[in-house]
């Protein structure tokens, strides 16, 4: 685009002022010239914004002085410089907010006085309004430019990396997420390829899969949930609808929506800015809900503590002059027209964890004998060793003597290797006596043989007789079970050390001598989430029905339910494998 003579002259003046500010011994004079120029000429403001994103003067200055300790030091710490950069960006953000607030106040005043011409978009700003805001903004911009061009390298597109949207977080999980990077209407455009700031008003779809790196900048989440791990180690769950500005590795600005922060000690100090207050964590779990349309903010502390520094209408601290301190169990309500109110937390207001998922994967039919033997290939074995139950297993009433029929309590003759992430042993419903609740049967000649799980090499030798955990559908059973009804057969509580990838649960059935003992349906429940499958065969050769458990949490309880088909409903065991 061709420049007019006026624009060229203004560009030269901006260039001269910046050169004097950075390359001579009188920086104060150069900054003063720049501020005077910008305060007196709106056209110069536009030229300066273009200069900020396009000029190479500071990069050249940095290249020529990179080795001079008198200029920037010979042992520059990039992490320190990035922190300074983030501080400069925050100064710039606050200055923008102040300009917007003053502009709105002027427009409201003009409307009330019926001075339409004063609120016209074409009317120039007053000298005092621009001068006040530019003094803070241009100084921050100078620091911003110096850090961007001097300390950090350039990308192939020509934009300094520091000026670009640099990665600050990683998606650790998401649920049905639809979100977009949003161009800030106050953000000048610049060259630089994929890492450049977005054009004002532009929205770019963003990846939501686990492991995706997320850059600094403004985002809108229009649907679903996203869980971020910031580079500081802080975790944040974002719930749609939400708009957020990722300002750094340990700082965000919540424009609107709900956020839950979970902050380990190494990320203490994680900060959430809003239009009404700034929340600083002290090593904790807390929720923030910002509702700018009605000027309300809610802060709920679930664990640990936070400080809440409210902003007055003038943009300062709250009326008391000191930040509020909230501890576990406390909540604060902040509004623009009243003092903060402290109350009790609402446990149901925020999504503190992404929901557990259960998905039926498929069935392995006719391999009951070789569940624990790598002799046969097993495509559905998630860990790839062709042995089901590598992370643990429970097989009920396994007998080494094949000529003994027996009824026993559910836990008797249970052959198991307890998974490290389970808490305690399986729990069984009321009733241990035969025909009066869950009990186990084993040793019948017709029951399926299986490779002994204890065999050192899990080879084809050392077979044992499988058994079942069963529930009768006769009169008087504790769950009032009858053909067609659903009963709980056992439950498993999850402890700590849960695999972050989740695990695959197998339910072993169709290994008994009576077809009517095979359940009509298997259902897995966890905290209100469930998945089920109708059993497919009754050929008594052993089937393993597999379910993937995603996002398991300590304290979750897995409930295994069966739909009764005949006189009994039975399973032979359960297996656990970790991807």
Tens-digit pLDDT profile for the chain (579 aa)?
Answer: 455 777 778 888 887 887 777 666 667 777 777 777 776 576 777 777 666 655 443 443 444 444 333 333 334 444 544 554 555 555 556 566 666 665 665 555 555 544 444 444 444 443 333 333 443 444 445 544 444 333 333 333 333 333 456 899 999 999 999 999 887 543 433 333 444 444 545 678 888 888 899 999 999 999 999 999 999 999 999 999 999 999 999 999 999 999 999 999 999 999 999 999 999 998 889 999 999 888 899 999 999 999 998 875 434 434 445 788 999 999 999 987 676 788 999 988 999 988 899 999 999 987 777 888 887 889 999 999 999 999 999 998 887 544 444 566 777 778 889 999 999 888 887 654 444 567 777 666 778 888 887 765 555 457 788 888 888 877 667 777 788 889 899 999 999 889 988 999 999 999 877 777 889 999 999 988 999 999 977 777 889 999 999 999 889 999 999 998 888 888 999 999 999
Closest by alpha carbon to 246, among 282, 291, 214, 288? 214
Query: Does residue 515 contact residue 540 with C-beta atoms inside 8 Å?
Result: yes
The span from the CA of 240 to the CA of 257, in Å, is: 7
Nearest to 450 by CA among 543, 361, 546, 535: 543
Asked if 47 and 15 count as a contact pair (C-beta separation under 8 A), the reply is: no
| pLDDT in the model for residue 561 | 95
How many residues can be counted in the chain?
579
pLDDT at 449: 84
pLDDT of residue 103: 63
d(CA 30, CA 41): 17
d(Cα 453, Cα 465) in Å, to the nearest integer?
A: 11
Which tokens in the block code for residue 119?
A: 């609120």
Q: Cβ distance 241 to 226 under 8 Å?
A: no
- 61 dihedral zone (left: phi>0; alpha: psi -120 to 50; beta): alpha
Give the up-direction half-sphere exposure of residue 98: CA atoms within 13 A in the CB hemisphere.
18
Q: What is the pLDDT of residue 355?
A: 87
Chain-centre distance for alpha carbon 528: 22
Q: Are 18 and 33 in contact (CB under 8 A)?
A: no
- Please spell the DSSP secondary structure of 153-185, one letter per residue: PBPTTS-BTTTS--EEEEEEEEEEEEEEEE--T
CA angle 315, 216, 219 (to 5 degrees): 75
- Quick one: which H or E segment has residue 257? strand 251-262
Distance, CA of 567 to chain centre: 47
- Helix, strand or coil, per DSSP, at residue 457: coil
Q: Give the chain's domains with CATH numbers.
A: 1-44 (no CATH), 167-183+204-344 (2.60.120.1440), 357-577 (no CATH)
Judge contact between 416 and 394, C-beta under 8 A: yes
């Amino acid at each position: 685009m061709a420049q007019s003579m006026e624009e060229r002259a203004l560009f030269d003046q901006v260039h001269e002022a910046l050169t004097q500010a950075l390359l001579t011994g009188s920086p104060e004079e150069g900054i003063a010239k720049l501020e005077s120029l910008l305060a007196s000429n709106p056209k110069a403001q536009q030229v300066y914004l273009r200069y900020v994103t396009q000029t190479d003067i500071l990069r050249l200055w940095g290249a020529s002085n990179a080795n001079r300790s008198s200029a920037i030091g010979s042992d520059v710490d990039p992490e320190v410089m990035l922190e300074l950069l983030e501080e400069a960006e925050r100064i710039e953000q606050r200055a923008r907010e102040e300009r917007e607030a003053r502009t709105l106040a002027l427009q409201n005043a003009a409307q009330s006085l019926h001075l339409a011409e004063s609120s016209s978009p074409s009317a120039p700003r007053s000298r005092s309004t621009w001068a006040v805001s530019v003094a803070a903004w241009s100084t921050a911009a100078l620091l911003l430019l110096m850090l961007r061009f001097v300390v950090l390298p350039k990308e192939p597109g020509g934009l300094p990396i520091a000026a670009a949207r640099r990665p600050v977080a990683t998606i650790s999980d998401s649920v049905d997420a639809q979100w977009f990077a949003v161009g800030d209407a106050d953000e000048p455009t610049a060259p630089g390829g994929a890492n450049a700031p977005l054009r004002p008003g532009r929205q770019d779809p963003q990846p939501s899969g686990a492991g995706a790196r997320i850059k600094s900048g403004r985002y809108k989440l229009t649907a679903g949930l996203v869980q971020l791990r910031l580079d500081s180690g802080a975790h944040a769950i974002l719930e749609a609808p939400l708009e957020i500005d990722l300002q750094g590795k340990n700082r965000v600005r919540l424009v609107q929506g709900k956020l839950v922060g979970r902050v380990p000690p190494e990320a203490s100090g994680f900060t959430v800015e809003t239009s009404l207050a700034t929340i600083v964590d002290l090593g904790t779990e807390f929720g923030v809900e910002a509702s700018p349309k009605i000027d309300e903010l809610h802060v709920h502390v679930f664990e640990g503590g936070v400080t809440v520094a409210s902003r007055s209408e003038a943009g300062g601290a709250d009326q008391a002059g000191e930040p509020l301190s909230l501890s576990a169990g406390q909540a604060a309500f902040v509004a623009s027209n009243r003092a903060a109110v402290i109350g009790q937390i609402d446990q149901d207001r925020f999504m503190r964890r992404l929901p557990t998922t259960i998905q039926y994967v498929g069935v392995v039919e006719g391999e009951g004998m070789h569940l624990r033997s790598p002799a046969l290939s097993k495509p559905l074995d998630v860990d790839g060793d062709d042995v089901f139950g590598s992370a643990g297993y429970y097989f009920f009433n396994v007998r080494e003597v094949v000529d003994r029929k027996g009824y026993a309590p559910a836990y008797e003759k249970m052959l198991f290797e307890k998974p490290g992430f389970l808490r305690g042993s399986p729990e069984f419903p009321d009733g241990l006596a035969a025909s009066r609740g869950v009990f186990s049967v084993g040793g019948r000649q017709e029951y399926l043989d299986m490779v002994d799980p204890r065999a050192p090499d899990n080879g084809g030798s050392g077979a044992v007789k499988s058994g079942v955990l069963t529930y009768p559908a006769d009169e008087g059973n504790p769950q009032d079970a009858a053909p067609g009804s659903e009963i709980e057969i056992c439950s498993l509580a999850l402890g700590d050390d849960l695999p972050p990838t989740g695990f695959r649960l197998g339910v072993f059935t169709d290994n008994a001598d009576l077809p009517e003992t095979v359940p009509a349906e298997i259902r897995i429940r966890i905290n209100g989430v469930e998945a089920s499958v109708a059993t497919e065969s009754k050929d008594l050769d052993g089937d393993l029905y597999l379910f993937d458990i995603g996002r398991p949490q300590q304290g979750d309880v897995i409930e295994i339910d069966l739909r009764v088909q005949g006189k009994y409903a039975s399973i032979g065991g359960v297996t656990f494998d970790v991807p």
